[in-house]
Amino acid sequence: MRRRMVPVLLAWLASLAGAVEIVRADEAPVAAPSPPPHGRNPVAGVRSVGRAAVSSPASSSRPPVSTRPDGRYGRGASAPARGGLPNALPLPTSARGRVEEPTARMAGRQNPAVPTQLSRAEVEALALANNPTIKAAEALVLQQEGLLRQLTRYPNPSAGWVQSTPSRMSEGATQGAFISQDIVTAGKLRVVGQAERVEIEWRTLQVKAQIGRVVNDVRIRYYEVLGAQQAMATAAELEKLASDDLKVINRLLEAKQASRPDLLQAEIHLSAVRASLQDARLRHQAAWRQLANLVGVPHLTPTLLTDEATELPRFEWDESLHRLLSESPVLHAQAAQVREAELEVKLQKRLVVPNINVQTVIQRDYVKQYNQVSTLVSAPIPLWNRNRGAIVNAEGMLIQQQQEYKRLQLALADQLATSFQQYQSARNQVEHLREILPRTRENADLTTQGFRQGQSGFDFLRVRDAEDLYHHTRSSYIDAMTTLRKVAVEIEGLELVGGLNPTEIGTALQATPGVPSGLGGVLLQFQQQQQTGVGGTLPGAIQSTVTGPQ
């Protein structure tokens, strides 16, 4: 009888080995998950253990799926994002369709010989298509969807072969097969699925927030380049006037109507103006490089940006604060974290109810010629371990997430207060400079005209002071207008900035006293981050904060 069963057993083992090889051939290589960073919130580990314990397959060969590349312990599944952003912050689903056509039009703009202009909408489209942080955030959503599919699968059954060989042949000899299955109780898989879907909702909101950060940063840097472009034109205009003044001085010197000191002062003034023009060019060059890096096309050829002049933005504090607290994707994402923590408490309490293992054995006695079917039902007795520690841990995590939601509300209001003060100050300065700018221009024109016509009382020093006053006023107006536009982007864009920072760093921080900008000037102190999933060490290079209003 043994001789008849050996070929059958060998054939069965060969087929099993072949199935394993097919699975290995079909699987794509997956990088080993990185260990969680030191200092990670310990609650995440407990949640991972709880989820894995719900439906872990009986086979020990199940690949671990507890950790994610960002060091957090995995869960996730999609649900529609609650709340919305303004039109300035497009959703990820619609962003892809909008970037294709502008990107195609931009293909020919890499040739510097082609004179062209770039609008703000085209630059935003380029950023949505090329900024790596958006694709990285979308990949995290994909990871969570994979974890949803994995963690909600029912545990695999186990099967095997059994044989009994008595010491005396006449007593009987049996061979057969068995199969066992774990039965998940108390609806644990359903709770896991709900938690995973909340996790994907959280990740989706993170994508939405990251798109907002990229769009807002593009607008801020667009206005920086535009301001540098206008400052460069102003410096070039002043350089032309200083050069013309020097020519007039040379003519007056030949006519014995000017002195040598006048000529020296004109030459010194022209040299200083040319140095200022070079500084303006360097400022424009650096601003363009920063814009190109944010867009994700670092070798983007510098082109002329269009100034879409609009009315000065107007904001009211109560309206801006209400909109921020009701529409911020950061707050919506934290609300999802609170719901997930509530489900975690629910799951940990249900883990006290043990799963049931059912095993059936079918055997054939070839000596006595009869069949035998045995059934075994077993379950662990929750005598020494009733999962109380994990329940307390989950309850503590829920309290922490609820308080984090309140902290985010206060932090966002704090950032808005800083931005709003800068907005009011910049608007006041713009209105003042806009009022006096025409008069300084008229004063410069009349003084220059009188000097070149040789009128009495119009010497070169007076001309220089008048021209310098006009161009200083104009430069101040350009800087104030740039600042006003940038702060308006922060307020209208729900205080979302940091388009090159990792998505996890985007959580709102308190505005630092003394820092001359709103969220753009907030120091990203990673140690202050207490949200689940944020590690203990600062990951990678953090984008330098956007220069705020001065």
Looking at residues 9-38, what average pLDDT do you find?
A: 44
Whether residue 137 contacts residue 206, with contact meaning beta carbons closer than 8 Å, is answered with yes
CA–CA gap between residue 272 and residue 278 (Å, rounded): 10
CA–CA gap between residue 181 and residue 376 (Å, rounded): 11
Stronger pLDDT, 227 or 19, i.e. the higher one: 227
Q: What is the pLDDT of residue 468?
A: 87
Is the pLDDT at 529 greater than 80, yes or no? no
φ and ψ of 154, to 5 deg: -75, 145
Whether residue 404 contacts residue 337, with contact meaning beta carbons closer than 8 Å, is answered with yes
Selection from 160-164, 260-264, 308-312, 498-502 with the highest mean pLDDT: 160-164
113-118, long-range: CB < 8 A, 24+ apart: 116/303, 116/304, 117/303, 117/304, 117/305, 117/306, 118/303, 118/304, 118/305, 118/306
Q: What is the pLDDT of residue 281?
A: 92
CA–CA gap between residue 329 and residue 493 (Å, rounded): 11
Reported as a single tens digit per residue, the pLDDT across 411-465 is 999 999 999 999 999 999 999 998 999 999 988 888 888 877 777 777 778 888 8
Reported as a single tens digit per residue, the pLDDT across 138-148 is 999 999 999 99
> What fold is seen in the domain 2-29+47-528?
Outer membrane efflux proteins (OEP) (1.20.1600)
Q: What is the pLDDT of residue 170?
A: 64
Residue 219: CB atoms within 10 Å = 23
Whether residue 491 contacts residue 316, with contact meaning beta carbons closer than 8 Å, is answered with no
Share of the chain above pLDDT 90, in %: 39
Name the region of 179 (left: φ>0; alpha: ψ -120 to 50; beta: rest): beta
Residue 386: CB atoms within 10 Å = 12
Q: What is the pLDDT of residue 264?
A: 85
Look-up: residue for tokens 């892809």?
Answer: 96
- Give me the helices (H) in 255-386, please: 260-295, 317-327, 329-350
Looking at residues 533-540, what average pLDDT do you find?
A: 36
Whether residue 148 contacts residue 189, with contact meaning beta carbons closer than 8 Å, is answered with no
Residue 442: CB atoms within 10 Å = 12
Reported as a single tens digit per residue, the pLDDT across 87-130 is 333 333 333 333 333 333 443 344 443 337 888 888 889 999 99
CA–CA gap between residue 420 and residue 411 (Å, rounded): 14
DSSP secondary structure of 206-235: HHHHHHHHHHHHHHHHHHHHHHHHHHHHHH
Residue 168: CB atoms within 10 Å = 6
φ and ψ of 376, to 5 deg: -125, 125
Q: What is the pLDDT of residue 173?
A: 79
Q: Of 152, 227, 255, 196, which Cα lies nearest the Cα of 482?
A: 227
CA–CA gap between residue 378 and residue 485 (Å, rounded): 69
Is the pLDDT at 497 greater than 60, yes or no? yes
Stronger pLDDT, 258 or 349, i.e. the higher one: 349
Look-up: residue for tokens 């990185």?
Answer: 34
Whether residue 69 contacts residue 111, with contact meaning beta carbons closer than 8 Å, is answered with no
Of the candidate ranges 64-68, 148-152, 249-253, the one whose mean pLDDT is the lowest: 64-68
Token digits of residue 266 = 């004109």
Q: What is the pLDDT of residue 340?
A: 94
Cα→Cα distances 462→116, 443, 451, Å: 40, 10, 9
Listed by start position, the domains of the chain span 2-29+47-528
Is the pLDDT at 540 greater than 90, yes or no? no
Reported as a single tens digit per residue, the pLDDT across 291-338 is 999 888 988 888 888 887 667 788 999 999 999 999 999 999 999 999
Reported as a single tens digit per residue, the pLDDT across 397-409 is 999 999 999 999 9
Q: What is the pLDDT of residue 423?
A: 93
Q: What is the DSSP letter of 372?
A: E
